Structure 1
């Protein structure tokens, strides 16, 4: 049974306001965000392979990056679909072709470069025990529910609220089966893989990840990412 990271990076980065390249290829200290992300899975001892789903027009560039940074666990670079859901399906299908449907898949955003080793390890352990693992972080601000008139109708107990993040991890045969069901229902769309699994009756289990495991979507996210990377490098140099 293989453990495979399916990393999707097919967005165009409109909220990043980058006029030169998609956000996953923006660089920090000369290295693209996507490479930072892949390297965490490359270095993890329990990850057997990576399937990268990318904008078709950037596939050749990705292959150059894979060679340049010696990302040997990347076993396929394929084109995404018209939606995030179809892109993930393409990646899952390729994973089944390469590794078999008894694999465990870790579905991860290419623009979440601050994933860490312990989160990956804990997610794999949770999948082995429970069949799936959804990475979450605690809600750190008050969550309010409002009606159509923007009136607050309820304040949710924050201790019971968590933010779903990535990776979202499943047995490949399970997540593929719900994709097939969604396709049979007129290509029914879901916000993420966890929502799809929940809709089709699966109980979901969580692992708590690091709060800094953010998605780089806006310029402010990029600056946070840069600050965290620089702080970590300073701590190594100065022993802080």
Structure 2
């Protein structure tokens, strides 16, 4: 069984929108979160989806899931005080439905341009190696600095940017969350950091450059350009 855990719990402060969180901003009348969910909904190897959502927006999302005929979402659960806690809520919702060998793909609700091929590659990597961290090559030089001074210039060829989905065996991710809670650790920045902390090997899967996280207004315009380009290619056969 392959599950998607989609995190849509952020408030989107960098988007400068006062009307609604960024994951519910609309393009052509459809919220960003629905674009994201549909990538997993339409993938033949995804069996179940859980969405972690801002509690006040759960009724709105449930209505949209019905409107867009989303069938694989088995639950929508409220987020927690941190991203780590929110993902734990999603794991708790998935556990009763998943078998011992289930894979879970943890994905940002505001990464709607994920390619189906990346999902397939991630599932294969979890089956064969136990994990899959989606990455893209670093296209600019990365430096380390301290006090305004560059202390190290890192070889670009050795660097990758970690994206999403980040994928693991569900039982192993759940166990890592239990250990983190027992150890009083509540501030892991993502699932990859937690799993590495607890000794799991992390394997990379090369993703596509357009798999951007929509965080700022300029990201939204890039998203719109990609969607419009895809629609034009279907209409005009480009």
Shift in Å, 1:136: 0.3
Q: How much does 1:187 deviate?
A: 3.4
Q: TM-score normalised to the size of structure 2? A: 0.98
Q: CA deviation at 1:102?
A: 3.0
1:25 CA displacement? 0.5
* Cα distance in 1, alignment partners of residues 40 and 196 from structure 2: 26
Per-residue deviation at 1:101? 4.5
**Is the alpha carbon distance of 1:65 and 1:124 closer, same or farther for their aligned partners in structure 2, counting shifts above 3 Å?**
same
Q: TM-score, normalised by structure 1?
A: 0.97
CA distance in 2, matches of 1:206, 1:13: 28
Deviation per CA, 1:116-152: give whole Å up to 9, x if none: 11000000000000001000000000101112x2111
Question: Counterpart of 1:52 in 2: which secondary structure?
Answer: strand
The 1-side partners of 2:155 and 2:203 are apart by 20
Q: Please state whether the residue corresponding to 1:144 is helix, strand or coil.
A: strand
Give the distance between the partners of 1:24 and 1:7, measured in 2 at CA: 11
Aligned residue runs from structure 1 range 108-187, under 5 A:
108-147=107-146, 149-187=147-185
- 1:44 paired with 2:43, answer yes
Q: Secondary structure, in 3 states, of the residue corresponding to 1:60?
A: helix
Which residue number corresponds to residue 202 of structure 2?
A: 204
Match of 1:63, SS?
helix
Stretches of 4+ aligned residues off by more than 4 angstroms: none
Corresponding position of 1:232 = 230
The CA distance in 1 between the partners of 2:175 and 2:48, in whole Å, is: 21
Residue 228 of structure 1 deviates from its aligned partner by 0.9
**Corresponding residue for residue 32 of structure 1:** 31
Give the conservation status (yes or no) of the 8 Å contact 2:102–2:170: yes
Output the CA distance in 1 between the equivalents of 2:123 and 2:143: 33
- Contact kept, 8 Å, 2:7 with 2:108, in 1: the verdict is yes
Query: Residues of 1 paired with 2:7 and 2:100: CA distance?
Result: 19
Alignment check: 8 A CA contact 2:111 2:211 kept? yes
| Alignment correspondent of 1:13 | 12
Please list the CA deviations of residues 2-34 of structure 1 after superposition, one character each: whole Å capped at 9, or x if unmatched: 100000101111110111111000000010000
**Structure 2 counterpart of 1:79:** 78
Residue 35 of structure 1: CA displacement?
0.3
Partners of 1:9 and 1:100 lie apart in 2 by 25
* Unmatched segments (≥5 aa) in structure 1: none
Q: Is the 8 A contact 2:2 2:45 kept in 1?
A: yes
How many residue pairs end up in the alignment?
A: 238
Does the CA contact (< 8 Å) of 1:182 and 1:189 recur in 2?
Answer: no
Distance 1:114 1:194 in 2: 21
- Is the 8 Å Cα contact of residues 96 and 103 (structure 1) preserved in structure 2? no
Contact 2:82 2:187 in 1 (8 A): no
